[in-house]
Amino acid sequence: MRASGVAVPKPLVLVRGTPLVEHNLCQLLRHGFDDVVVSVPGDGGPIGEYAEGRLSQLASEAGARLRVLAETTPLGNIGCAGLLHGEGDVLTVYADNLTALDLRDVLRHHAESGAALTLAAHDERFRLPYGRLEIEDGRVLGYAEKPTIAVTVCSAVAVLGPDATAALPAGRPAGLVDLTVELLRRGLPVAAYRHDAPWIDVNDGDAVRRAEALLEEHAAAFAWPA
Report the Cα 60 to chain-centroid distance in Å: 23
pLDDT tens profile 120-130: 999 999 999 99
pLDDT surpassing 80 at residue 211: yes
pTM, to two decimals: 0.93
pLDDT surpassing 80 at residue 118: yes
> In which domain, by residue range, is 189 found?
2-222
The predicted model gives 89-110 an average pLDDT of 98
**Cβ pair 39, 69 in contact under 8 A:** yes
**Cβ pair 212, 15 in contact under 8 A:** yes
Whole-number mean pLDDT of the chain?
A: 96
pLDDT surpassing 90 at residue 5: no
Number of separate domains in the chain: 1
Q: What is the pLDDT of residue 31?
A: 96
pLDDT surpassing 80 at residue 148: yes
* Sequence-separated (6 or more) residues with CB below 8 Å from residue 61: none
pLDDT surpassing 90 at residue 7: no
CATH number assigned to the domain comprising residue 177: 3.90.550.10
Q: Report which of 110, 120, 72 is spatially closest to residue 89, judged by C-alpha positions.
A: 110
Q: Which long-range contacts (CB under 8 A, 24 or more apart) does 143-151 make?
A: 149/125, 150/123, 150/124, 150/125, 151/123, 151/124, 151/125, 151/126
Q: Report which of 94, 91, 77 is spatially closest to residue 24, judged by C-alpha positions.
A: 94
pLDDT surpassing 80 at residue 61: yes
